[in-house]
Amino acid sequence: MVLTITETEELSHMRDNIRRSVDALEQCWSCQRISECEPATVDDGPPVWLCSDCAIKNRLQYAGDHGRLAWPFCS
């Protein structure tokens, strides 16, 4: 199969997009799912990574406790 220059560029662009998406994945500290996560601090310790669902639960459940997490809170 011979690819045109345009097809080769498109495949290269797709590969780069896939690589960026995969590099953005982390394991959630709380529920252990693999997803795009955001950093959160637990008991003034180092940051941990939380998925969006656990991060929202954390913000809702612990809004009055300065963002601290229970150990672990998501099931």
Residue 36, H or E segment: strand 34-41
Q: In this structure, what token pair is assigned to residue 34? A: 């693999």
Query: Quick count: other Cβ atoms within 10 Å of Cβ 61?
Result: 13
pLDDT, residue 65, reads 58
Query: pLDDT tens digits, residue range 41-72?
Result: 766 678 899 999 988 887 776 666 554 555 55
- The domain limits of the chain are 5-65
Q: Check residue 72 and give its pLDDT.
A: 53
Average pLDDT, integer, range 32-47: 83
State mean pLDDT over 27-47: 85
pLDDT in tens, 9-27: 999 999 999 999 999 899 9
Q: CA-to-CA distance for 75 and 54, rounded, in angstroms?
A: 9
Distance of CA 22 to the CA centre of its chain: 10
